[in-house]
Structure 1
Amino acid sequence: MLKEFRDFIARGNVLDLAVAVIIGAAFGTIATSLTQDIIMPVVGAIFGGLDFSSHFVLLGPIPADYAGSPTDYAALKKAGVAVFGWGQFLTVVLNFVILAFIIFMLVRTANKMMRKADDAPAGPTEVELLAEIRDELKRR
């Protein structure tokens, strides 16, 4: 069983998948930072607030023992208050769209590179080379 497991792990596609997961996580982090640190502050400034992810609607009462700010989305959520966090949801959706666009551009570029490699004139085939060698030997 250990040998089978080692053979399974040593397959190229499993290693490729592991690399893809690690790179995907790194892209996710980059996309999150791009969204939260660059895009959403600009969008928030356009719509009147610097932290767009803190836009929400209260759906339930704030507990009497709550000591935090009634405008702090994270604290209200932590206190168990029912909130409709549309700003946070919009941030996550934008994160996804940015990440999907980055992946699309990578796949598109890779496909173009593969097409160029396929369109490049290939050298003579093995059979053609052998035929040339045979013909050259006949002439001598």
Structure 2
Amino acid sequence: MMSEFKEFAMKGSVMDLAIGVVIGGAFQKIVDSMVGDIIMPVVGLLTGGIDFTNRFLTVGGGTFATLEEAKKAGAPTVAYGLFLNQVLTFLIVAFTLFLVIKGVNRMRRNEPAKG
């Protein structure tokens, strides 16, 4: 059983997958920083500094200044601002990855042919 496990673990595809996961985790930090530190401040400037995190509706009445207050009070809320933030972040991350992959593909096409 140990020899089978060793054979499985040392297959090229398993090692490639492990390397891909590690590099993907590191790349995620770069993308998160690009979105949070570079792109989102520009989006905030373009939207007039609107902070969507405190955009919410309380279900069943009650008035609260912030979403945190409503949650502490146990009021049922529809936090549509948080949802909009997540959708916007997803779109920005997806577009950023599209640009990165497009650049990588362009570099691959420009490589001289092997032979």
The Cα offsets for residues 98-139 of structure 1, whole Å up to 9 and x where unpaired, read as 1232133224323432xx133xxx4xxxxxxxxxxxxxxxxx
Unaligned runs of 5+ residues in structure 2 are none
Superposed displacement of residue 83, structure 1:
1.4
Q: 1:58 to 1:50 in 2, by over 3 A?
A: closer
- TM-score normalised to the size of structure 1? 0.61
Runs of 4+ in 1 over 6 A off after TM superposition: none
After the TM superposition, which of the residue ranges 36-45 and 76-85 deviates more from structure 2?
Answer: 76-85
Alignment of 1:1-140 (within 5 A): 1-49=1-49, 54-55=52-53, 57-61=55-59, 69-70=65-66, 72=67, 75=68, 81-84=77-80, 85-113=83-111, 116-118=112-114, 122=115
Root-mean-square deviation over aligned CA pairs: 2.9
Q: For residue 44 of structure 1, report the CA deviation from its aligned partner.
A: 0.7
**Counterparts of 2:23 and 2:33 in 1: how far apart (Å)?**
15
Distance 1:14 1:89, change over 3 A: same
Q: CA deviation at 1:63?
A: 7.8
Q: Within 2, Cα distance between the matches of 1:77 and 1:4?
A: 56
Distance 1:8 1:97, change over 3 A: same
Give the structure with higher Rg (CA): 1
Which consecutive residues of structure 1, in runs of 5 or more, have no partner in the other structure?
A: 123-140
* AA partner of residue 100 (structure 1): F
Letter matched to residue 25 of structure 1: G
Whether contact under 8 Å (1:55, 1:88) holds in the other structure is no
Indicate if the aligned counterparts of 1:28 and 1:99 stay in contact, CA closer than 8 A: no
Contact 1:27 1:99 in 2 (8 A): no
